[in-house]
Amino acid sequence: MVKARTSAAALVSSGHVRVNGVRETSPGHGVKTGDVLTIALDRSVRVLKVTGFAERRGDAASARGLYDDLDGGGRS
Protein backbone atom coordinates (compact mmCIF):
# COMPACT_ATOMS: atom_id res chain seq x y z
CA MET A 1 0.00 0.00 0.00
CA VAL A 2 2.99 2.26 0.64
CA LYS A 3 6.53 2.05 -0.67
CA ALA A 4 8.58 2.29 2.52
CA ARG A 5 8.46 0.66 5.92
CA THR A 6 8.67 4.06 7.59
CA SER A 7 5.55 5.18 5.71
CA ALA A 8 3.72 2.04 6.83
CA ALA A 9 4.79 2.62 10.43
CA ALA A 10 3.54 6.22 10.23
CA LEU A 11 0.11 5.03 8.99
CA VAL A 12 -0.16 2.64 11.94
CA SER A 13 1.12 5.14 14.52
CA SER A 14 -1.37 7.75 13.36
CA GLY A 15 -4.30 5.33 13.75
CA HIS A 16 -5.06 4.72 10.07
CA VAL A 17 -4.85 0.92 10.32
CA ARG A 18 -7.27 -1.56 11.87
CA VAL A 19 -6.52 -5.24 12.43
CA ASN A 20 -9.68 -7.35 12.55
CA GLY A 21 -11.70 -4.20 13.18
CA VAL A 22 -9.57 -2.93 16.07
CA ARG A 23 -7.53 0.26 15.61
CA GLU A 24 -3.82 -0.50 15.90
CA THR A 25 -1.27 2.16 16.86
CA SER A 26 1.80 0.00 17.46
CA PRO A 27 3.85 -0.51 14.25
CA GLY A 28 5.38 -3.65 15.75
CA HIS A 29 2.02 -5.41 16.17
CA GLY A 30 2.16 -8.79 14.46
CA VAL A 31 -0.39 -10.03 11.97
CA LYS A 32 -1.16 -13.61 10.99
CA THR A 33 -2.72 -15.42 8.08
CA GLY A 34 -6.44 -14.74 8.02
CA ASP A 35 -6.23 -11.30 9.65
CA VAL A 36 -8.23 -8.55 7.95
CA LEU A 37 -6.48 -5.18 7.64
CA THR A 38 -8.40 -1.97 7.02
CA ILE A 39 -6.10 0.79 5.83
CA ALA A 40 -7.21 4.41 5.42
CA LEU A 41 -5.12 6.04 2.70
CA ASP A 42 -5.33 9.61 1.35
CA ARG A 43 -8.37 9.14 -0.86
CA SER A 44 -9.48 5.58 -0.23
CA VAL A 45 -9.89 2.79 2.26
CA ARG A 46 -8.43 -0.64 1.50
CA VAL A 47 -9.66 -3.84 3.13
CA LEU A 48 -7.21 -6.74 2.79
CA LYS A 49 -7.12 -10.29 4.10
CA VAL A 50 -3.65 -11.69 4.77
CA THR A 51 -3.23 -15.00 2.91
CA GLY A 52 0.48 -15.64 3.38
CA PHE A 53 3.95 -14.39 4.09
CA ALA A 54 7.19 -14.32 2.09
CA GLU A 55 10.51 -15.65 3.35
CA ARG A 56 12.32 -12.69 1.80
CA ARG A 57 11.34 -9.17 0.87
CA GLY A 58 10.23 -8.96 -2.74
CA ASP A 59 8.74 -6.62 -5.29
CA ALA A 60 5.20 -5.26 -5.37
CA ALA A 61 3.98 -7.96 -7.76
CA SER A 62 5.12 -10.67 -5.33
CA ALA A 63 3.48 -8.89 -2.41
CA ARG A 64 0.12 -8.81 -4.22
CA GLY A 65 0.04 -12.59 -4.01
CA LEU A 66 0.06 -12.46 -0.20
CA TYR A 67 -3.34 -10.85 0.37
CA ASP A 68 -6.91 -10.82 -0.94
CA ASP A 69 -8.40 -7.43 -1.73
CA LEU A 70 -11.80 -7.67 -0.06
CA ASP A 71 -13.12 -4.35 -1.29
CA GLY A 72 -12.04 -4.87 -4.89
CA GLY A 73 -13.53 -8.25 -5.66
CA GLY A 74 -10.34 -10.29 -5.79
CA ARG A 75 -6.59 -9.92 -5.83
CA SER A 76 -5.15 -6.50 -6.36
**CB 69, CB 46: distance < 8 Å:** yes
The CATH topology of domain 5-69 is 3.10.290
Measured distance CA(70)–CA(68) in Å, rounded: 6
Average pLDDT, the chain: 91
Per-residue pLDDT, 48 = 96
Whether 74 shows a pLDDT value over 60: the answer reads: no
Whether 66 shows a pLDDT value over 70: the answer reads: yes
Measured distance CA(71)–CA(51) in Å, rounded: 15
Mean per-residue pLDDT for 8-23? Answer: 96
Q: How far is CA 4 from CA 8, 32, 74, in A?
A: 7, 20, 24
Per-residue pLDDT, 45 = 94
Per-residue pLDDT, 72 = 66
Measured distance CA(73)–CA(49) in Å, rounded: 12
